[in-house]
Every structure is written in C-alpha cells, then in structure tokens.
Amino acid sequence: MKKLYSIFLLLFCTLTVSAIPVTNSQLTKAFKALEFDIPIRVLLDEKPLAQVTWKIASPTYFVIFAPHQKTKTIFQAAKLTITAQKNSFVINGKKVEGDHLFILPLHGPMSFQGDAFDGVFALTLSQGKGYLVNHLDIEDYVLSVLPYESWPGWPDETQKALCISVRSYGIAKVLEQRKKHEKKGHAVPYDIKNTNVHQNYRGVLKSAPYRKIVEETRGVVLAHDNKPILAMFDICCGGVVPSLKKGIHFSKAPYLERTYPCYFCKDYKFYRWERRLHFDHIEKELKKEFPHMGALKDIKVGSYDAAGVAQDIKFKGMREWYSLPASKFRSPFIKDVYSLAFDFKRNGRSLTLRGKGHGHHMGLCQRGAYQMALKGWNHRNILKFYYPNTTFMRLKKK
Ligand SMILES: [Zn+2]
C-alpha cells in the first residue's frame, strides 16, 4: 500500500498556528501515523452537519492536517471539541478550513467516547454530513475485532478461522469501497462500519492470546477468484443450509453457497429455541409502523425462502391484513427472536416462536467452528467447510 502522505509533503506544508514549541522530529513522528502497511477506514460516527459534536482526547497535543490545503495546525490541548460548518470544522472554537482533515496525536493513542484508538482520525464533510473515521492498519483492526467475535479460551484453530474471516471481510470491504471510488460511484469516506451491521469494533482491545493468533495468520485471507471474500459468520447456524437472501446472490458470492448442513453446533443452547411473545407486546411494536391498524387480531408467516428463513410476516388489524419484512418485524424483538428461521404457534393472545440457530445462517457458524476444533479439525479445513470454493491468499503491502 502506498504511503499516503510522505515526509516530503510535510516540508511543503504551511505551519499556520504554532504557539508552542513542537520539534520537527515530533512532527515527523506524528505524520508517520499516516503510513500504513495496509489501511482500513472504520466509521465511528456519522451525523448531519448541525449535529456534529465530537470530543477527542490524547495524552498531549494534536496536529490537524488538511491534505488538500496542505496546512497543519497544532493544538496544545489534551482534548478537542469539534463541530462542523459547510466547508470547514471548528475545533476548540477555532475555524479550520477543509472538508477533509486528519487528526494526528503527537503521542498516541487518541480516545473517543471512552475508547482508545490506534492510527489516526479523519474528519470528512460530504453531502451535508460529517463523518468521523478511524484509519488504522488492518492487522491492528483484526486484533481489536477478534475479541468481539470470539471467546477467550476457545481452541486456537477456531480463533484462527475467525481471525482469517474477520480479516477477509475487512479487506473485501476495503476493496469494495476502492472500486466504487475508482468508478466514481457513490463512495463514502469509510470502508466498514464499527457495529454488527459489519463487524463490531470499539478501538484498541488487545490481549496476548489474541495477538498470537493474529501474528500466526498475519496477512492470510480467504479468496474466491483471487479476490478476498465477504466472509460472513454468525453465532449458530442451527443446521440451516443457507439459501438466497435479499442482497446476497450466490452467483456473486458462491463461497456462501454451502449445500450441506452443519450439525456441529447441535449442542448449543440456540440450536433450537422457543420464545413466547404476547399479542399486546407485538401490537404495541406494530403500531409504531402502522398507527391505524387497530387491535392485533391475527399474525402468521407470509413466506419462507428455500432454507426455511421467514421472508415476510402478515398480520391482521381491526379491518385488514398488513405485511412487513420479517427482518423488520424481528428488530424490536431482537433479544428474544434469535434468527428468522422460525415458525409461529398461536395460543390465545400469545405467540410461541420456535426457531433454529442464532444469526443469519450465512458463512461460518461460530459454535460449529468451536466444536470442530475440539474434534481435531484445523482452521483451514474449518474454513473450507463453511466457505466452499475458496483458496487462501496472503496480503502483501505494496
Ligand atoms: Zn452450525
């Protein structure tokens, strides 16, 4: 990966504010934070301009670098309060020109909302919105994501399989955005979100056992057709063989088209589950979407896909039947309804849901991968089981 901004550029920057003595070697060190082996850009926050208020802390000073204006501003403060205007940011009450700025700590790490972060922060204004994005090296990212997607004490071979999945997914998102950018499509100023929409990430979360796993698989990704794959995974597949899903077509992602079931997760508590929802509770949630529906009279699954995953829910109010995508129906009950592979059984004004698995049933099954490693499978074979038609590749910094 090319170095983003060289020291050469640093020499030609205009030092706009420097009320404090900061040595050239300190500045050089701060700018080194922009040199990544293989960077990933993780979205931390996204807001309409008027609502932007970000507070960022660091042990000492900050350098704010505006790459387009080629200016840098030094803030002698341990905290920054940032708001946004149309083409500029206001940082600690001072206007800083530019719709794309980097925040470099003189002595890292920086923190945001109580979490510490490797790398640098980027502030971007685009289409009426402000974006706060963390740029960091992919290996630091993987090391901080893995603890969220794994479990301490799990076998190394499970951890390695998860680690390679996390890295593959991250790199696939990086390439997806880069392609959009090159085609001048609708590129956003980040590669990946920091929530379970993509992968959970809350900054530096490093521990020695995970570091060993990341080091031992450094740079390794799963690929299909020589491209890193969007290696999705869920908690427990429940024995469901994946089928076509909205937005996911096996013609584009043949590595998710597993034709055989995973039963390795069958002893996990959510392999089969049952939950009861009362009509009053369901009605209250449905009325947020359909305020004029009246009392809930009946409810059923409208349709399933070939895997047995509910696609839409039909329900009857006072007068008529309504329909709602199953994922939307599930969202207020996400803590009780573990997946969409369920059926309903009505009993008076309560509904018993009987379901399979926990998650979306696509890609690697974490509980299955855990049991496979206990049975002696190595990480490569675990990954091959869940992602058919894939090969292993090693990333190289360019
Ligand atoms: Zn499974």
CA dist 90 and 82 (Å) reads 6
Q: How far is the CA of 237 from the centre of ligand 1 (A)?
A: 4
Q: How far is the CA of 263 from the centre of ligand 1 (A)?
A: 6
CA dist 147 and 162 (Å) reads 10
**Is the domain of 230 the same as that of 318?**
no
**Is the domain of 35 the same as that of 132?**
yes
Q: Print the domain residue range for 350.
A: 272-356
**Is the domain of 125 the same as that of 178?**
no
CA dist 206 and 237 (Å) reads 28
Instruction: Please indicate, yes or no, whether the overall pTM of this predicted structure exceeds 0.75.
Output: yes
**Is the domain of 276 the same as that of 349?**
yes
Q: How far is the CA of 262 from the centre of ligand 1 (A)?
A: 5
Please tell me the least confidently modeled range out of 143-147, 158-162, 253-257, 348-352.
253-257
Q: How far is the CA of 160 from the centre of ligand 1 (A)?
A: 17
**Is the domain of 118 the same as that of 153?**
no
Question: Does residue 256 fall inside a structural domain?
Answer: no
Question: Does residue 243 fall inside a structural domain?
Answer: no
**Is the domain of 100 the same as that of 11?**
yes
Q: How far is the CA of 271 from the centre of ligand 1 (A)?
A: 8
| 87-141 per-position pLDDT tens digit | 899 999 999 999 999 999 988 789 999 999 999 999 999 999 999 999 999 999 9
Question: Does residue 118 fall inside a structural domain?
Answer: yes
**Is the domain of 223 the same as that of 302?**
no
**Is the domain of 48 the same as that of 124?**
yes
Query: What's the whole-number mean pLDDT along residues 175-191?
Result: 85
Is 168's pLDDT higher than 90?
Answer: yes
Is 7's pLDDT higher than 60?
Answer: no
Question: Does residue 214 fall inside a structural domain?
Answer: yes
Query: What's the whole-number mean pLDDT along residues 1-14?
Result: 41
Q: How far is the CA of 352 from the centre of ligand 1 (A)?
A: 23
Q: How far is the CA of 364 from the centre of ligand 1 (A)?
A: 8
pLDDT at 248: 60
Q: How far is the CA of 264 from the centre of ligand 1 (A)?
A: 5
pLDDT at 244: 61
Question: Does residue 382 fall inside a structural domain?
Answer: yes
Q: How far is the CA of 72 from the centre of ligand 1 (A)?
A: 52
| 293-316 per-position pLDDT tens digit | 999 999 999 999 888 999 999 999
**Is the domain of 168 the same as that of 195?**
yes
Query: What's the whole-number mean pLDDT along residues 74-79?
Result: 90
Is 323's pLDDT higher than 60?
Answer: yes
How many Cβ atoms are within 10 Å of 90's Cβ, its own excluded? Answer: 14
Q: How far is the CA of 205 from the centre of ligand 1 (A)?
A: 27
| 36-60 per-position pLDDT tens digit | 999 999 999 999 999 999 999 998 8
| 355-387 per-position pLDDT tens digit | 999 998 999 999 999 999 999 999 999 999 999
Question: Does residue 287 fall inside a structural domain?
Answer: yes
Question: Does residue 253 fall inside a structural domain?
Answer: no
**Is the domain of 185 the same as that of 104?**
no
| Sequence-ordered list of residues with C-beta below 8 angstroms from that of 157, at least 6 positions apart, any chain | 372, 373, 377, 378, 379, 382
Q: Which residue in this structure is represented by tokens 């149309």?
A: 86
* Distances from the Cα of 54 to the Cα of 45, 80, 100, 223, 277, angstroms: 9, 8, 15, 38, 39
Q: How far is the CA of 236 from the centre of ligand 1 (A)?
A: 5
The three-point CA angle 49-54-60 to 5° equals: 140
**Is the domain of 233 the same as that of 146?**
yes
Q: How far is the CA of 363 from the centre of ligand 1 (A)?
A: 10
- Model confidence at 8, pLDDT cuts 50, 70, 90, reads very low
Q: How far is the CA of 175 from the centre of ligand 1 (A)?
A: 29
Question: Does residue 286 fall inside a structural domain?
Answer: yes
Q: How far is the CA of 39 from the centre of ligand 1 (A)?
A: 32
Domain boundary at 137, 156, 180, which?
A: 137
Number of domains in the chain: 3
pLDDT at 9: 41
**Is the domain of 282 the same as that of 340?**
yes
| 204-254 per-position pLDDT tens digit | 987 888 999 999 999 999 999 999 999 999 999 999 998 865 556 667 788
